[in-house]
A and B are shown apart, each in its own frame.
Chain A
Amino acid sequence: MQQTPLLEVKNIACERGDHRLFSGLNFTLAPGELMQVQGANGSGKTTLLRTLCGFVQPVQGSVHWCGQDIGEWDDDFHAEMCYLGHLNAIKDELSALENLQMSAGLAGYTVSDQQAVAALRRMGLQRREHLPVRVLSQGQRRRVALARLLIGDAHLWILDEPLTALDVGAVGLMQELIGEHLSNGGMTIFTTHQPLQVSGVQTRQLMLS
Chain B
Amino acid sequence: MAINWFKYSAPSTFYGLAGKLIPFFAWPAVILFAIGLYIGFFVAPTDAVQSEAYRIIFIHVPASILSMFIYLIMAGYAALGLIFNTRLSSMMAQALAPTGALFAFISLWTGALWGKPMWGAWWVWDARLTSELILLFLYLGFIALQASIEDPRRADKASALLAIVGSVNVPIIYFSVKWWNTLHQGATIKMTGTSMHVAMQQAMFIVLVACWLYVIAVALARVRSIILERERNTQWVSELKEVR
Contacts and interface: CB of A to CB of B under 8 A. Distances in A.
Nearest to B234: A18
Interface string B195-213: 0000000000000000000
A17 interface: yes
Contacts of B233: 18
A18 B230 CA distance: 9
Interface in A1-28: 17-18
B90 to A, nearest CB: 15
A6 B150 CA distance: 36
Main secondary structure of the interface of B (DSSP, over half): loop
Nearest to A16: B151
Interface string B144-179: 000000110000000000000000000000000000
A17 B150 CA distance: 9
A17 B152 CA distance: 8
A20 to B, nearest CB: 10
Nearest to A18: B233
Interface residues of A, number: 2
Contacts of B150: 17
**What is the interface residue range for chain B against chain A?**
under 10
B28 to A, nearest CB: 37
Nearest to A20: B233
Contacts of A18: 233
A18 B229 CA distance: 11
A47 B150 CA distance: 18
A17 B151 CA distance: 6
A18 B151 CA distance: 9
A18 B150 CA distance: 11
Nearest to B85: A57
Nearest to B233: A18
Interface in B109-168: 150-151
A172 B172 CA distance: 61
A54 to B, nearest CB: 16
A17 B154 CA distance: 10
A17 B149 CA distance: 12
Contacts of A17: 150-151
Contacts of B151: 17
A58 to B, nearest CB: 12
A18 B152 CA distance: 9
Nearest to A15: B153
A17 B232 CA distance: 12
A17 B155 CA distance: 12
Nearest to B232: A18
A17 B153 CA distance: 8
A27 to B, nearest CB: 25
Interface in A155-182: none
Interface in B217-235: 233
Nearest to B230: A18
A174 to B, nearest CB: 34
A17 B233 CA distance: 11
A138 B151 CA distance: 32
B226 to A, nearest CB: 14
A98 B244 CA distance: 61
A169 B151 CA distance: 42
Interface in A61-112: none
Nearest to B231: A18
A194 to B, nearest CB: 31
Nearest to B151: A17
Interface string B24-62: 000000000000000000000000000000000000000
B157 to A, nearest CB: 10
B124 to A, nearest CB: 48
A18 B233 CA distance: 8
3 contacts: A17-B150, A17-B151, A18-B233
Closest 3 CB pairs of A and B: A18-B233, A17-B151, A17-B150
